[in-house]
Amino acid sequence: MVRLSYYKGLLLSDYYAPGLKWSDEFKKYIGFAYKYRDVLEYFKREEIKIEDNVLDTLPFPMIEDKITLRDYQAKALFFWNRAGKRGIIVLPTGAGKTAVGIKAITKVKASTLILVPTIDLLDQWYEKIKDALNYSPGRIGGGYDELKAITVITYDSAYTRVEEIGNKFAFVIFDEVHHLPSEGYSQVAQMLASPYRLGLTATPEREDSRHRLLPDLVGPVVFRLRASELAGKYLAEFEIKKIYVSLTDDEKKKYEELRKKLKQFLSSRNMQLDSLESFHKLVKLAGRDPEAREALLAWHTALRISVNSKAKIEKLRELLNEYNNKENKIIIFTRDVEMAYNVSREFLIPVVTYKTPKDERSEILRKFKEGKYKVIVASSVFDEGVDIPDANIGIVLGGYGTSRQMLQRLGRILRKKEGEKNKALLIEIITKGTSDYNLSKRRHRATV
């Protein structure tokens, strides 16, 4: 008879099993709690009897189930179920990931923990569960601290509480699961004993390649659908337009000076900037070498000039003249805060950045939803986890070189509206011949 137990994120066992190591401190074999399922299966295969004291879950409540899934949502859940209730479902923004998650809870019928990156999402899940299951889930984070059989928690709170609650849930849902592989959050996944796992995201891939950890932490991608596959029926038809502009003579002169400074430094040190690693090398060097710091600063400034070029503002003026009318709702996206405020001042448009106070932000979003505001400008605050009212036109003035940001911004204009005839339109304004062009090229790598 093997005794299995849980202790502060660890799995303790009397006998050896793959994935466990002997610990002199505990006088037992130990491993991270997430090995629980594998260890259990191993002992079963070996026909070894187990006394299992790992999970200590709260009783599953009486719930209703008012969720009707669309065909692709049901299919996604089918594949996840077939994979042993483990794995990741990839659906574009607006395709109803939350509904899939809630339906999964009703299938598993066991105590469930839902991890979310922001308080906005904490509230959204809370409301949707209340509606769909006629049950008020617990909330931990954002000032709440209620542990219930179905509980929504922020990643940050989970990080500080996981030792204590790591064995209270048989099922765990990781919303926006691309956050999970980061240094700190991945420990949360390891310290949870939950044998059933579901990850939800629109874009699992990460710039740092740590998404390679996801199959181990959550399971493989079991279902994937792109925005273009849902366009027309469940999401709006859309078009992506690219408009190219040039730097002014002044900007060009400055830009080239700065790039030259960077190049001169690189060649003086026999360095190249041809990979992320080489860039990190430069950053490291900049920590102790003033010349390297100067070079990096030059790179930053040059980037800013190209992303926030004056011609973009003029092009934006034309676009607003053309599209700013009763029929359209427009969101303008910028890369940095300064540009967002410049646009706001120039065109007298309400602006939202991370500096905007909370109530002012919700006020602006409310008025945009009601149609009192037709155009708003935002930095990268709307990229994820915020419930943004529908728009049908997005204008990208600047951004990162990541397809994640691109797809998330696209998602902001894709919600299908009743009787809508016009296509949703995402317009990107790009400064040609500069790093801005490279950024744009990079964010289009992944097919939409």
Which positions lie near DNA, rule CB under 7 A?
A: 117-120, 141-143, 154, 156-157, 160, 178-179, 182-185, 206-208, 262-263, 266, 270, 272-276, 278-281, 283-284, 286-288, 293, 296-297, 299-300, 303, 336-338, 353-355, 357, 359, 379-381, 385-386, 400-402, 404-405, 435, 438-439, 442
- Close Cβ partners of 254 (under 8 Å, ≥ 6 residues apart): 302, 305
Our CB check for DNA shows the closer of 48 and 276 to be: 276
Report the alpha-carbon distance of residue 273 to residue 261 in Å, rounded: 14
Our CB check for DNA shows the closer of 33 and 406 to be: 406
CA 431, 432, 435, 437 dihedral sign is: positive
Question: Do 54 and 11 form a contact (C-beta atoms < 8 A)?
Answer: yes
- Close Cβ partners of 411 (under 8 Å, ≥ 6 residues apart): 92, 93, 94, 202, 227
Report the alpha-carbon distance of residue 170 to residue 192 in Å, rounded: 9
- Size of the chain in residues: 448
> Nearest approach, Cβ of 437 to DNA (angstroms)?
10
> Nearest approach, Cβ of 365 to DNA (angstroms)?
12
> Nearest approach, Cβ of 386 to DNA (angstroms)?
6
CA 73, 241, 409, 365 dihedral sign is: negative
In DSSP notation, 255-275 reads HHHHHHHHHHHHHHTT----S
> Nearest approach, Cβ of 401 to DNA (angstroms)?
4
Question: Do 427 and 395 form a contact (C-beta atoms < 8 A)?
Answer: yes
> Nearest approach, Cβ of 93 to DNA (angstroms)?
15
> Nearest approach, Cβ of 119 to DNA (angstroms)?
4
Closest CA to 430 of 274, 315, 337: 315
Report the alpha-carbon distance of residue 97 to residue 33 in Å, rounded: 27
**Beta partners for 7?**
10
Our CB check for DNA shows the closer of 223 and 382 to be: 382
Our CB check for DNA shows the closer of 73 and 342 to be: 342
Our CB check for DNA shows the closer of 79 and 144 to be: 144
> Nearest approach, Cβ of 346 to DNA (angstroms)?
17
Our CB check for DNA shows the closer of 2 and 121 to be: 121
Our CB check for DNA shows the closer of 77 and 388 to be: 388
